[in-house]
Amino acid sequence: MKDWLRGQRRRRLVLEDLLNNYNEGRSMSFYCLAAMLMPPELINESVNNVKEGLVGSQIDSADMKAKAKALREIMQDLAHVRGIELRHRRKGE
């Protein structure tokens, strides 16, 4: 039980970081889904990739939409490689 709670705490902290630093107002549900389905280490890898893009000036650090878009794309790619589908399913799908 303690290990499970520790894992959930890590997921919560990762999600809080995503929402505080990469949410342009439209990505909240995507980040919640990713935090639920992806291992926290994979999300951290995505964030590190975006940070490298910020340092390399490939992404404007002041442009929240660009940061969010880049992060979502990286997260989608890493999730896809691991066989994780980041999309909401409607009833009957």
Looking at the predicted structure, is the pLDDT value of residue 92 above 90? no
| Rounded Cα distance, 5 and 79, in Å | 23
Helical axes 2-22 vs 28-37, angle rounded to 10°? 150
Tens of pLDDT along 38-75?
999 999 999 998 888 887 777 777 788 988 999 999 99
For the packed helices 2-22 and 64-81, what is the interaxial angle rounded to 10 degrees? Answer: 140
SS3 letters across 18-47: HHHHHCCCCCHHHHHHHHHHCCHHHHHHHH
Given this model, what pLDDT does residue 55 score? 79
pLDDT, residue 61, reads 75
